[in-house]
A and B are shown apart, each in its own frame.
Chain A
């Protein structure tokens, strides 16, 4: 079945710098890709999602890149601020109609002042 690897597990960047989180997946039939933010004690907030026909999507300081050849998905946060401190998860799905998501292991992002 699908395997998702996420790295790094921990990331610390200075306020105003960029942060990049990467996920690799194994199933070339993967059709749906998403990123979630989980703040301490809270649920998962959907940040962005793309289907497999999209290579790049930008919204509000976030950029998602999809490289289907390398089976790699990345999330780039530009100009990080303290409110970005959280755990970030990628989540992918082969059959997005039924929403069974396979999650990465998570990246704990810390923003230093």
Chain B
């Protein structure tokens, strides 16, 4: 199926530092998402992004979080500053939206804040 690529697969960072997670969505997709999965728990929606704007964000999407996709390049999730509770696996996803509701996920970036 369609591939969503995430870079890096693992990231270890000191608490208080900034981290950027990168995602290369499916090439013709229009909607982009970030989800968070704490080890052994369910996936939780963070944010969706369309036409250069955040459409909806959950209460997990703290003020320290931001997303962007400058000029069709990587779709990024930036956390600044990081906190210990940000340790989780972050999954990027994309879809066509109205023209195709299927949401395709990347393999995730495991973020460890120490």
Binding site for B on A (CB under 8 A): 32, 34, 36, 42-46, 49, 51, 89, 91, 93, 96-106
Residue from A42, A51, A96, A99 within 8 A of B33 (CB atoms)? A99
B87 at the A/B interface (Cβ < 8 Å)? no
Q: How many residues of B contact A (CB 8 A)?
A: 27
B55 touches A98 (CB 8 A): yes
Binding site for A on B (CB under 8 A): 1, 4, 31, 33, 35, 41-45, 48, 50, 55-56, 91, 93, 95, 97-98, 101-108
A98 touches B45 (CB 8 A): no
Contacts of A98 in B (CB 8 A): 31, 48, 50, 55-56, 97
Residue from B4, B56, B91, B105 within 8 A of A100 (CB atoms)? B56
A91 to B56, CA, bound (A): 17
A45 to B106, CA, bound (A): 9
